[in-house]
Amino acid sequence: MVTNSWVLNYLTSQERVDYLAELDRIGKARDLSWVYVEAPALIEELPNGPDPQDPHRTVLSLARWRDGQRTVEHLATCHPHGFWIQWR
């Protein structure tokens, strides 16, 4: 299990690519879950892109690797610092 919240926007684009590549590498070898709270509009490398209706939103998402395959599920939209959450 890996978690992060508003961390990826502090990394360079290459560092984000490397971070996600490492998660993919681990996920191909074993089951892995990654829960993240990030802003897709600011992090183009995220597995799910920005919402065209609300590009500045922060999302709570779950990426899972099972049998080497990654799936991503959008769980909620939330305040960047967790003051509120709107479950999907």
- pTM, rounded to two decimals: 0.86
pLDDT of residue 50: 58
Residue type, 36: Y
Taking the mean position of all CA atoms in its chain, how far away is CA 3? Answer: 9
pLDDT of residue 44: 76
What tens digit of pLDDT does each residue of 31-61 get? 999 999 998 877 777 776 656 566 678 999 9
Report the percent of the chain where pLDDT is more than 70. 90
Would you say residue 72 has pLDDT above 70? yes
Task: Provide the residue range defining the domain that includes 14.
Answer: 2-87
Tokens found for residue 27:
């996920």
The total number of structural domains in the chain stands at 1
Q: Of the candidates 8, 62, 73, 1, which has an alpha carbon nearest to the alpha carbon of residue 35?
A: 62
pLDDT of residue 39: 86
